[in-house]
Amino acid sequence: MQTALADFIRDTPEGREADAILRKCVHCGFCTATCPTYLLLGDENDGPRGRIYLMKQALEGQEITDKTRLHLDRCLTCRACETTCPSGVQYGRLLDIGRRLVEGKTARPAWERVKHRALAAVLPRRSLFAPLLKLGRLARPFLPRSIAEKVPASTPAAGAWPAPRHARKMLALAGCVQPALAPDINAAAARVLDRVGISLVEVKGAGCCGALRYHLNYQEDGLDDMRALIDSWWPYVENGVEAIVMTASGCGVTMKEYGHLLERDPRYAARAAKISALTRDISEVIDAEHARLEPLLGKKGGRVAFHPPCTLQHGQNIKGLTERVLALAGFELTPVPDSHLCCGSAGTYSILQPGLSGQLKRNKLSALAAGSPEEILTANIGCLAHLQGGTELPVRHWIVALEERLQ
């Protein structure tokens, strides 16, 4: 694609990056066929090719309107388009640049600004989110259904965390909303890894990975969260931890991009690259330890439908690995049509775009139920909580189900 970026951005690092991405796009439109919002709305501007064109216009200095912002807001950042694109267009990076530009050049209505600010203030802070969740539970019977289904009825017990007794050590990210919604996930991961000779360590005081604020378009605040997390972990990295294990693929995809996101920060660039290099999804770790795990596996697993989060299959490009780990562990995986499509959770999308998100959730749940599973397993707390709000079937993280298979 030919480009002519405007003077105000052409010679900036963002301008050069956006220009290189735009020039790769040949406008073939293959990506539209796998875009969830295009499939629902049928509008070219609600598909990747149209959004790329809108961002090109903005970067070239043409008029930016509220409609431009609306079409970018409707994007889930699911990155299915990146998986489909034959030309390697890094749509997600372009969207980060485009959203920041469009946000700065348009006036978002006051109510929307308040919602964005509140989400950015509450969700990354465990000390605020946990008490608000408790309050939400108390008020649940009086809330409208659309809000009540976002508040889980109970929190599963975490169980004991094994003492750090092994020479092999890995770090775990506690995360921001996960400890309040599902503390059993990291604890189960720690117990499974303990059985194969690895001690999993959560660092006290380590906060949010930065994804929430970064993707709400408070990009500088998100980068600050990333720097703070690197500082919390750095002594452990210097002490030689083997890996950083992610049980939430939404955090994992961001951490794998720390190196890129902080590459222009001279104080943090090298550390951020090291953190990215150490980051592994829990499926990658368990797959590598299969030989040690196999003798420990006991009773046969049940019939499960696996929902691969977009941040795992498109963002981290990890496809089919968790399914393989589960099949090797004796679970029967039921067929799930259109498993490449987003469930509509997408970080804060389910709150900011409830109509589209609800439709995607209903579609996803009927696809997951197609093979009559006993439960739904997934790999990201956002998808888990979102899907659980719309079904009577249990929805759990797969590592929790795998732990139950150990003798």
Work out how close the CB of 5 gets to ligand SF4 at its nearest, in angstroms, rounded to a whole number. 17
76 binds ligand SF4 (CB under 6 A): yes
In contact, 336 and 306? CB cutoff 8 Å = yes
CB 33 to ligand SF4: min, Å: 9
Residue 327 CB contacts under 8 Å (≥ 6 apart), including other chains: 333
The yes or no reply on residue 2 touching ligand SF4 (CB under 6 A) is no
A 10 A CB-CB count for 24 gives: 13
Count of residues that interact with ligand SF4, criterion CB under 6 A: 26
Q: Least distance (Å) from ligand SF4 to the CB of residue 166? A: 40
Task: Give backbone dihedrals phi and psi of 281, rounded to 5 degrees, phi first.
Answer: -70, 150
Question: Quick one: tokens of 345?
Answer: 């959770």
Q: Applying CB under 6 A, does 79 fall inside the site for ligand SF4?
A: yes
**Is residue 31 near ligand SF4 by the rule CB under 6 A?**
yes
Please tell me whether residue 75 binds ligand SF4 under the rule CB under 6 A: yes
Any idea what DSSP says for residue 29?
Answer: -
Residue 332: its H or E element: strand 332-333
Q: Select 386 or 396, whichever has its Cβ closest to ligand SF4.
A: 386
Stretch touching ligand SF4 by CB under 6 A, among 49-57, 245-253, 263-271, 386-394: 49-57
Q: Which of 5, 9, 22, 35 binds ligand SF4 (CB under 6 A)?
A: 35
- 209 Cβ neighbours under 8 A, 6+ residues apart: 173, 175, 225, 226, 229, 251, 254, 255
Q: Give min distance, CB of 53 to ligand SF4, in A.
A: 9
* 168-172 and 243-246 beta bridge pairing: parallel
28 is an interface residue for ligand SF4 by CB under 6 A:
yes
Decide if residue 145 touches ligand SF4 (CB under 6 A).
no
Region of 6-14, 83-91, 178-186, 275-283 interacting with ligand SF4 (CB under 6 A): 83-91
Query: Using CA atoms, how far apart are residues 333 and 324, in angstroms rounded to an integer?
Result: 10
Supply the minimum distance, in Å, between the C-beta of residue 294 and ligand SF4: 37
Q: How far apart are CA 325 and CA 396, in angstroms?
A: 16
- Choose one: 19-27, 183-191, 241-249, 354-362; the region binding ligand SF4 (CB under 6 A): 19-27
What proportions of the chain, in percent to the nearest 5, are helix, strand and coil?
Answer: 55, 10, 35
Asked if 349 is part of the footprint of ligand SF4 (rule: CB under 6 A), the reply reads no
Contact 279, 246 (CB under 8 A): yes
Using alpha carbons, select from 158, 92, 365, 379 the residue that is nearest to residue 251: 379
Asked whether the beta carbons of 102 and 76 are under 8 A apart, the reply is no
Q: Which of 21, 80, 196, 326 touches ligand SF4 by CB under 6 A?
A: 80
> Judged by CB under 6 A, which of 4, 6, 20, 26 binds ligand SF4?
26
d(CA 341, CA 30): 15
Show the tokens assigned to 161. Answer: 């965390």
Q: Label residue 125 left, alpha or beta by phi (over 0 means left) and psi (-120 to 50 means alpha).
A: beta
Task: Examine residue 361 and tell whether it contacts ligand SF4 (CB under 6 A).
Answer: no
Nearest to ligand SF4 of 93, 397 (CB atom): 93
Segment contacting ligand SF4 by CB under 6 A, of 9-17, 75-83, 173-181, 289-297:
75-83
27 binds ligand SF4 (CB under 6 A): yes
Binding to ligand SF4 (CB under 6 A) within 176-205 occurs at none
Q: Which is nearer to ligand SF4, 72 or 208 (CB)?
A: 72
Q: In a 3-state reduction of DSSP, which class is residue 139?
A: helix
Please identify which residue in 43, 66, 70, 87 interacts with ligand SF4, judged by CB under 6 A: 87
Q: Considering the rule CB under 6 A, would residue 78 count as an interface residue with ligand SF4? A: yes
Contact call for residue 223 and ligand SF4 (CB under 6 A)? no
Nearer CB in complex with ligand SF4: 245/312: 312
| Of the candidates 239, 263, 245, the residue with the CA atom closest to the CA atom of residue 399 | 245
Q: Does 25 bind ligand SF4 (CB under 6 A)?
A: yes
Q: Of 309, 304, 326, 322, whose CA–CA distance to 375 is shortest?
A: 304
**Helices 110-122, 126-139: crossing angle, 10 deg rounding:** 110
Least distance from ligand SF4 to the Cβ atom of residue 119, Å: 19
Question: Which residues bind to ligand SF4, rule: CB under 6 A?
Answer: 25-31, 35-37, 48-49, 51-52, 75-81, 84-85, 87, 89, 91
